[in-house]
Structures are given as structure tokens and as C-alpha cells.
A and B are shown apart, each in its own frame.
Chain A
Amino acid sequence: MVSTYFIHLLILIGIYGILAVSLQLAVGFGGFLNLGHIAYYGIGAYTFTLLSKHEINFWLCLLLAGIFSAFFGWLLAAAVRKLKGDYLALVTLGFSFVVYAVFQNWTWLTNGPLGISGITRPNFLGFSTNNNNIYFILVFFIFLISYFFIYRVVTSPFGKVVEAVRDDELSAKSLGKRTFKIKLITFSTSAFFAGVAGSLYASYITYIDPSSFTLAGIIPVILIVIIGGLGSFHGTLLATFFIILLPEPLRFMGFSSSIVGPARQIIYAIILLATLYYKPKGFYGKLDLE
């Protein structure tokens, strides 16, 4: 019993880990405060679900879900090229609300507020992942691939250019770097992995509805990125454990479930405010949120 619960938490940490690392790529390296990252998570989850209903191979679904999310990431990044700072943050948030409205209202495709149930879990290395232990290995495996891929990207020469564009776009441009294209690539890569995380979430829970993809859902992820510190993946990783595990004791305190949800959000909000005041760079942060 205890170990089942423990495995459940580890799976959540794996999924949130991918999501947080992908957001870190956009915010810490790309330099756009993306408040609407949950939209890509949702697009990934819905794409995966709709494709998997057609008996398509798990890995292909995962890949296509990522690519579809990346496509929307590319679209948004291309549309907001002129905006920055506050306005950019608000437009990305607005994007997530538009996507939410589509999930909610495009009923024949998404089944509206009722959501889609009965999502099948894949076989992994010949084992059925209906067993959570096996599913955990699958998530852990995909997490490792995503983490090292993104880590490799940012430590490569290309990653240095991404950071240069974030710090001083004009200089990077004057050195002949195509800054707009670099931003597009960074943002779509970030959206791709958010889509992958969303797919894993959908196949883990086996049920999705629009309410999982609202602003409240992205708060812990934004918090993870800020606490871990902008520009630090190790910080993000540690913060993922911290933020996912922290509100768990609330479950055992005997509160009713209508209190536990808001109480968790209150804890997150207080930690967020305290971090911004006492450690605005987070624990391993290399730069300020600007």
C-alpha cells in the first residue's frame, strides 16, 4: 500500500519533471516568461488521447503529440515576435485560456467538459504498464531521455547562442545570428517536451478533461522553475521533488478534499511570494527574472 503510493508520487515527479524542465528551457534559456505553458501540456494530452483511440502505436502517438504541441509553440512564438516582458507573459496566458475554451467547447472532438476516459496504457519492453511499477520505469526512461536531450542542447554551442540571444538580442544579431529562428526553435522544443509530458499524464491517469489544463495547474510548475532558479536544470530537478512532495502531508491530516485542494494552492502561493522576496534568484539561479 505504502509502496503503491510512493510509486504514484514518483510517476508524478517524473511527469512534472519533464514539464518543469521544458518550461525552464523557455523561461531560463529562451528568456520568455511563458505563463501559458499548460496549453502545450494540454494539447499534447489531447492529441495523444485522440490518436491512441485509433490503435496507433504508443511511441508514434507520443512523438506526434509532441510535434503537434511544438507546432503550436512555433505558431505562438512566431506571432509574438514583437512583444516582450509583461505583454508577452499576458499573451501566453491568454493563449492557454483560448486552448482551454477549445477543449471545453469543441465537443465532438474533445467531448467537452465530460472529458475522455478509457485511455489505454502501452506495453513497455513486453510488459503491460497497467502495473504502476512498470509504468514508472517507462516514465523514468522518457524523463531521462528528455532531460539529457534538453541538457545537451543548452550545453552545446547552439545553447550558448540561445543564451546570448536572451541576454542581448541586438549583439547576437550583429554577430550574424538569426535570432528569430533561434527563438522559434527554443520555444517549439520547449512545447514539444510539454506535449510529451501531457501524453504521459493522459496515459497514466487514463482520463482527461479540460479542468486539468487551467492556470491553477501550471502554478506548481512555474513555482518549480522559480525556486530551482532560472538557468539551472539541477535546481529544477530538486525543486520538482520538493514542490510535489511538500503538500502531500495534507492528505493525512484528515481535511476534507474540498479543503486539501485550496490548501495546497495556498502553500504554493506563500512559497512563491517568500521565494520572490528572500531568494528572487531561486536556489541555484544564474539570472534574474526580467
Chain B
Amino acid sequence: MYIAFYYGNMIFMNIFLQLLINSLIAGAIYSLIACGFSLIYSTNKFIHFAHGGVIIFSSYIFYTLFSLLHFEFYLSCILTVIFAGLFGYSINLIIYTPLRKKKASSLILLVAGLGVLILTESLSLIFWGADVKTINYIDNIQGLSIFGAIITPLQLIIIIFSLVFLIFFYLLMKKTRLGKAMRAVSDNANVAEIVGISTTKIYSKAFIIGSIVAGVASILISLEQNIESTLGTSLMIKGFTAAVIGGLGSVPGAILGAYFLGLTENFGIWYLPSGYKDAIAFILLFLFLLFRPNGILGIKYNS
């Protein structure tokens, strides 16, 4: 009886640790999406629906460069990130800027973003087909076992890399001239304009930087998960959810929100079938929008 209890406990510990590790990996990826999304949202003041599309399209580009064309790993990474930045920049230039010139409301921009998302999804279906793509990179290394829970070195690298990258992103936003200008625009675009900051330039720079962060996320996603053309919307919503949980416009908040979302999702499927993962994120978003629209930290955000 004692032994049964002991083993029961062991199994409990194993599941607990495995879910914890899964949460951390999900959090690492979501935090990148959330930070890019939050930057674009707080400066541009509308929901860039196509953010998920940028991520998925970049994942396919990475897959093509690395797995099909056999480019070197780091070269593929750099090219993917450059592509993502250019892609975000062009979406802003071709779609959003002309609409904004016609004084389009934020809802029109949102619907336009939805159009772009559908466009990228369908194009990737035509170019790459509907089958799931996987990239096998350093897959033959045995995972480290911690009390029976498995974490691969790749996953460890993903978590550490995401955190280090976001610290740099945070410093960029806090310390540099560009970061300060961006925060000024997100605080009050009119006043920023009076002080001599060109808001249009900041809008497009936010798109470039936000999409570069998305490009990094896309590489981690393609290494860790499978690539599917339909993932875009759910990734966008997860980025948005994490950003809302942490308080929109705050980098540490977005990171915190992303890990919170990762934990809730992964521990939620301890009780529910794993198909409910996306639904958990939506319910969390809903609860936060209703009861804590300023996020966990309660940062007041001027809209």
C-alpha cells in the first residue's frame, strides 16, 4: 500500500513536471509573439490581425530555406528574420498606410488585417500544401530527464534564447532614442508629433521591429512544433491574450502574461481533453477583458 502511494506520487510528480516544462516552452514562444504584437498595438492603436500570418509565412520560409534548399542553419535564421521584418513593413506600407490616409477607423484596419491573414494563409496553402511540415534539427540528441520529465536541449535553448532576446528588446524600448520615441507615440501620438517625432515613421518602425520579433518566434515554432497554415489566427490571439494579461504596451507584462497563459493552457489540459487548449486561451482573454482590462499588474494604459 505504501509502495502504491509512493508510485502514485511519482506519477503525479512526473506529470506535474512535464506540464511545467511544456508551459515554460509555450510561454517562451508566446512571449515573443506578445511583445511584437504589443509593440505594434500600442503604437499603431489597432489590432494587427495579420501578425499571425507573418509568423506562419516566415515559418514556411524558414522551412524552405533550411529543409528544402539546405542553407546553413544560422544563415536560414538570419534570412527568415530579415524576411519577417520586410513582410511586416510591406503590409504596413501597402495595406495599412493608404487606409490610414483615408482616415479609416481601427475596426476597418482590423478587418483589413483579417483580409491579409486570409491571404497569407491561402497563399501558403497553395505554395506549400496542406500537409504538416516538420523540421528535424538536432533531433537525435537524448532529452535530459528531470524526475522522469523530459526536456530536450533544444527546448532548453528555446527558453533561454527567448528570455535573453526579450531582455535586449526591453533595453531597446527603455534605453534607446527609438524606444523612447515609440513609447512617446504610444502614450500620446499628437503630443509626440508636436515634439518633432514623425508618427508615420514610428508606425512603420514598430511594424519592422514587431515583425522581426515575430520572425524569431517563427523560427522557434518551426523547430519546436509542426508548421500548419491554419495556426496563424490562434497564434495571433494567444499573443494578444498574453499582452492583455500583462497589460498592453509593457514588455515585462507581456512576458509575464505569456508564461501565465502557457501555464494555464498546459495545466488546464490535465483535466480537459487537449483539444480545448485554444478555448482555454480565449476564456482567459475574455475574463481579463471583463474583469481586469489593465492586466495582472494593473498598468494604466491610455487609449
Which residues of chain B have C-beta atoms less than 8 A from A93's C-beta? Answer: 237
In the complex, chain A residues 60-100 whose Cβ is within 8 Å of any chain B Cβ: 79-80, 82-83, 85-87, 89-91, 93-95, 97-98
- A89-B110 contact, Cβ under 8 Å, with A79-B290, A276-B104, A288-B105: yes
Decide if A277 touches B98 in the complex (CB within 8 Å). yes
Which residues of chain A have C-beta atoms less than 8 A from B13's C-beta? Answer: none
User: How far is A286 from B64 in the complex, measured between Cα atoms in Å?
Assistant: 47
Decide if B273 touches A105 in the complex (CB within 8 Å). yes
Decide if A276 touches B278 in the complex (CB within 8 Å). no
Decide if A289 touches B105 in the complex (CB within 8 Å). yes
B221 within 8 A of A: no
Which residues of chain B have C-beta atoms less than 8 A from A87's C-beta? Answer: 289, 293
B232 to chain A, nearest CB (A): 10
Q: How large is the interface on A (under 10, 10 to 19, 20 to 34, 35 or more residues)?
A: 35 or more
B58 within 8 A of A: no
A290 within 8 A of B: yes
Decide if A97 touches B282 in the complex (CB within 8 Å). yes
Name the residue on B nearest A93 (C-beta). Answer: B237
B274 to chain A, nearest CB (A): 9
| B-contact bits for A112-142, CB 8 A (1 contact / 0 none) | 0000000000000000000000000000000
Decide if A273 touches B130 in the complex (CB within 8 Å). no
B143 within 8 A of A: no
When the two chains form the complex, which single residue of A94, A263, A290 contacts B286, counting CB atoms closer than 8 Å?
Answer: A94
Decide if A98 touches B279 in the complex (CB within 8 Å). yes
A205 within 8 A of B: no
Which residues of chain B have C-beta atoms less than 8 A from A97's C-beta? Answer: 234, 237, 278-279, 282
Decide if A265 touches B122 in the complex (CB within 8 Å). yes
Name the residue on A nearest B289 (C-beta). Answer: A87
Decide if B106 touches A85 in the complex (CB within 8 Å). yes
User: How far is A216 from B121 in the complex, measured between Cα atoms in Å?
Assistant: 10
Which residues of chain A have C-beta atoms less than 8 A from B102's C-beta? Answer: 277, 280
A161 within 8 A of B: no
Decide if B282 touches A98 in the complex (CB within 8 Å). yes
B169 within 8 A of A: no
Name the residue on A nearest B291 (C-beta). Answer: A82
Which residues of chain B have C-beta atoms less than 8 A from A259's C-beta? Answer: 126
- A91-B105 contact, Cβ under 8 Å, with A97-B234, A266-B119, A273-B116: no
Greatest chain B CB density within 10 A among A258, A263, A269, A290 is at A269
Decide if B108 touches A94 in the complex (CB within 8 Å). no
A222 within 8 A of B: yes
